[in-house]
Amino acid sequence: MRHPILFSICVAGVMALSACDKSGDAEVDRALQDLNVVDETNLNDVMLTAADADEAVAYFKKASSQQPDRIDLQRGLAKSLIRARRNTEAVSAWKKVVDHKDGTAEDKINLADALIRTNDWKRAKTTLDTVPPTHETFQRYRLEAMVADSNKQWKKADSFYETAVGLTTRPANVMNNWGYSKLSRGDFAGAERLFTEAIQNDQSLFTAKNNLVLARGAQKNYSLPVIPATQAERAQLLYTLGLSAVKQGDTSIGKGLLRDAIDTHPQHFEEASRSLAALEDNVTN
């Protein structure tokens, strides 16, 4: 009489062990899934920052085609295309992200950025106009300023640039853009001030140094500003200043600056040498 009871107990024990095994398997599967998500997230981050841009494009193209509903993979593809300077493709990629049900205002701003990179200023403005006014970010105002610049809406551009500068801890590049805007509209003194401030914020920004020299040259100020610069940079700045002097009609000053550029450069300065030779040939002829 005890055997059936013992058999029942054994069966119950086996079933319990089986249930434990299944529960354990499920927990292992869940843990592996979580681990895979973490690994994939890390890989996505690496692809977006450290990997070769074209490799990142290939990775995110494959990943997003396998999981087309994943907006994070679509964003990764769009960002990678921008990194790879494949801007036309990036516009299409960002448009897809914006149209996704989980698309955000920031995605629209990134689409506008891609459109500006393809010189599609009209669509960029239309896209920025759809961003809620409450979404106030550095990138949004930087792009708004650039669009206003393209439409020669100087007052709006200045306002947007000023707001953008106040929303970042690294304002050098936007100050340089703002300065170039002032330079293009003939406000040379205003441009000089902004380029100087850009260099104070980032001493490695050679574009701002070169633009500063252009702004000074436009005012017929042909002395190099007191700014940090390597020997090669000083030679390039003297070259820019020399060309500016020639353009202003001050040919003799320009020739002297070109000679200084050639003497200053640590190696052979081909461009300056050719420019000086051309000027001297013109004088001889």
Q: How much is the pLDDT for 49?
A: 82
> What is the spatial distance between Cα 170 and Cα 119, in angstroms, rounded to a whole number?
25
Question: ∠ CA 104-108-110 to the nearest 5 degrees?
Answer: 110
For 35-101, CATH gives 1.25.40
245, 250, 251, 254: CA torsion to nearest 10: -30
Global pTM value: 0.80
DSSP string, 77-97: HHHHHHHTT-HHHHHHHHHHH
Question: For residue 80, what are the CA distances in angstroms to 56, 115, 119, 153, 212?
Answer: 6, 15, 19, 32, 33
Alpha-helix residue ranges (DSSP H) falling in 167-250: 172-184, 188-201, 206-218, 231-247
List the one residue out of 199, 264, 256 whose CA is nearest residue 225.
Answer: 199
Q: How much is the pLDDT for 46?
A: 82
Q: How much is the pLDDT for 283?
A: 58
> What is the spatial distance between Cα 6 and Cα 19, in angstroms, rounded to a whole number?
20
116 class by beta-carbon count within 10 Å (0-12 exposed, 13-18 middle, 19+ buried): buried
35-101 and 104-168, same CATH topology:
yes
Q: How much is the pLDDT for 202?
A: 97
Tell me the two tokens of residue 215: 């702004």
Sequence spans of domains, the chain: 35-101, 104-168, 170-219, 230-285
Q: How much is the pLDDT for 14?
A: 41
Q: How much is the pLDDT for 21?
A: 52
Q: How much is the pLDDT for 284?
A: 54
Q: Is the dihedral of CA 276, 278, 280, 283 positive or negative?
A: negative
Q: Does domain 104-168 have CATH number 1.25.40?
A: yes
Contact 168, 138 (CB under 8 A): yes
Residues 6 or more apart in contact with residue 217 via CB below 8 angstroms? 240, 241, 244, 245, 247, 248
218 class by beta-carbon count within 10 Å (0-12 exposed, 13-18 middle, 19+ buried): middle
Per-residue pLDDT of the chain (285 residues; tens, 9 = 90+): 444 444 443 444 444 444 445 455 555 445 444 444 445 667 888 888 877 899 999 999 999 999 999 999 999 999 999 999 999 999 999 999 999 999 999 999 999 999 999 999 999 999 999 999 999 999 999 999 999 999 999 999 999 999 999 999 999 999 999 999 999 999 999 999 999 999 999 999 999 999 999 999 999 999 999 999 999 999 999 999 999 999 999 999 999 999 999 999 999 999 999 999 999 887 554
